[in-house]
Chain A
Amino acid sequence: NAGVTQTPKFQVLKTGQSMTLQCAQDMNHEYMSWYRQDPGMGLRLIHYSVGAGITDQGEVPNGYNVSRSTTEDFPLRLLSAAPSQTSVYFCASSYWDANTGELFFGEGSRLTVL
């Protein structure tokens, strides 16, 4: 199993450009989520999904769009990149029961917006 795979690992954009961060998991997990990590801010939840076709907003959703057409994939779209979106982005997946509850994280995607 590859776990949670994020691509690309590094990306540089100009202000106003759009792009998609890809996230795929091969563990058949129902739940997937996107976080951004900024120095001194910890991880903040952007969007999450509880299953194919179902998404919801997290703490900082503005400027980002998501969709969940399959169980495996959960892409994050930046519609018009801004310097404030310079960050490290983490995708996570999980399967919940009374004995688990662990989120599995990808290795992160470092985005710089100039």
Chain B
Amino acid sequence: AQSVTQLDSQVPVFEEAPVELRCNYSSSVSVYLFWYVQYPNQGLQLLLKYLSGSTLVKGINGFEAEFNKSQTSFHLRKPSVHISDTAEYFCAVSDREQAGTALIFGKGTTLSVSS
């Protein structure tokens, strides 16, 4: 069964600093990878996804992620964060056999941006 490990439960950073949120997944078979963001008391919103093609994926709000098959990683990055990026971030995976049906999520990383 698939599993996702988000290596940091909390990441505190200062405004305008770069940030990387780390995600590793378990399976070596072909997968689809996603990052979702959840703002306080809200549902989940898709940040970006890797389905195929270029391993560098750009998403909304200036975020990007790189798919690394050999390291089974999909780390999320932003070169300069804002206070408004404070939220919980979830990495998720779906293997190709279950594509689109449901996702397996990591436990989340809380990003706290302060001034």
A residues with CB within 8 A of B: 30-31, 33, 35, 40-45, 48, 50, 58-59, 90, 92, 94-96, 98-103, 105-108
Contacts and interface: CB of A to CB of B under 8 A. Distances in A.
Contacts of B94: 101
B43 A105 contact: yes
B9 A40 contact: yes
A88 to B, nearest CB: 10
Contacts of A43: 44, 90, 92, 103, 105
Interface in B51-83: 51-52
Contacts, number: 67
Contacts of A96: 99-101
B43 A103 contact: no
A95 to B, nearest CB: 7
Nearest to B94: A101
A97 B68 CA distance: 23
Nearest to A50: B101
A41 B100 CA distance: 22
B46 interface: yes
Contacts of A92: 102
Interface of B: 6, 9, 32, 34, 42-46, 49, 51-52, 90, 92, 94, 99-108
Nearest to A6: B43
A107 B51 CA distance: 25
B101 A31 contact: yes
Contacts of B107: 40-42
B102 A31 contact: yes
A107 B104 contact: no
Nearest to B3: A59
